[in-house]
Amino acid sequence: MHRNLIFYTLVIGVFGLLLWFIFVQGKQLEAERFQQTNVVEDTSTPDPTFTDKTQGGVIAPFLESLVHNLEHPLTLLLLQISTIVLFSRLLGFLFGKIGQPTVIGEIIAGIILGPSVLGLFWPGVSDFLFRADTLQNLQFLSQFGLILFMFIIGLELDLNILKHKAHTAVVVSHASIIFPYFLGVCLAYYLFDGFAPAHISFLGFGLFMGIAMSITAFPVLARIIQERGLTQTPLGALAITCAAADDVTAWCILAVVIAIIQAGAMTTALLIILLSIGYVLAMLYLVRPLLQRVGSIYGTPEHLSKTFIAFIFVVLFLSALFTEAIGIHALFGAFLAGVIMPAQVSFRKLLAAKIEDISLVVLLPLFFAFTGLKTQIGLLNEGNLWVVCGLIILVAVVGKFGSSLVAAKVTGQSWSDSFAIGALMNTRGLIELIVLNIGYDLGILSPTVFTMMVLMALVTTFMTCPALSFIDYFGKRRASLPMQPLQEKSL
Task: Please list the alpha-helical segments (H only) found in 37-134.
Answer: 48-54, 59-70, 73-97, 102-112, 118-121, 123-129
Quick one: pLDDT band at residue 158, thresholds 50, 70, 90? low
Of 408, 405, 409, nearest to 423 by C-alpha is 405
| CB contact at 8 A, 177 and 250 | yes
| CB contact at 8 A, 161 and 218 | no
C-alpha count within 13 angstroms, C-beta hemisphere, residue 67:
6
C-alpha count within 13 angstroms, C-beta hemisphere, residue 110:
26
Over 80: is that where the pLDDT of 432 sits?
A: yes
- The tens digit of pLDDT for each residue in 450-460 reads 999 999 999 99
State residue 475's pLDDT score: 65
- DSSP characters for 398-461? IIIIIHHHHHHHHTT--HHHHHHHHHHHT--HHHHHHHHHHHHHTT-S-HHHHHHHHHHHHHHH
State residue 480's pLDDT score: 46
Over 80: is that where the pLDDT of 15 sits?
A: yes
The mean-pLDDT minimum among 61-70, 329-338, 421-430 falls in 61-70
State residue 163's pLDDT score: 60
State residue 385's pLDDT score: 92
CA 237 to chain centre: 25
- The tens digit of pLDDT for each residue in 355-364 reads 887 888 888 8
The mean-pLDDT minimum among 44-48, 251-255, 323-327, 415-419 falls in 44-48
Identity of residue 278: G
The class level of CATH for 78-478 reads mainly alpha
- Determine what percent of the chain falls in helix, strand and coil, rounding each to the nearest 5: 80, 0, 20
> Taking the chain, what is the end-to-end CA distance rounded to the nearest angstrom?
101
Q: What is the residue extent of each domain of the chain?
A: 78-478
State residue 483's pLDDT score: 43
d(CA 405, CA 434): 25
State residue 57's pLDDT score: 57
- The tens digit of pLDDT for each residue in 261-299 reads 877 666 777 888 888 889 989 998 999 999 888 877 776
| CB contact at 8 A, 211 and 444 | no
Over 60: is that where the pLDDT of 485 sits?
A: no
d(CA 341, CA 314): 12
| CB contact at 8 A, 130 and 370 | no
Over 80: is that where the pLDDT of 346 sits?
A: no
**What are the angstrom distances between the C-alpha of 457 and each of 215, 279, 453, 463?**
10, 31, 6, 10
State residue 215's pLDDT score: 87
Q: Is the pTM of this model over 0.85?
A: no
Residues listed for the chain: 491
Question: Average per-residue pLDDT in the chain?
Answer: 82
Identity of residue 184: G
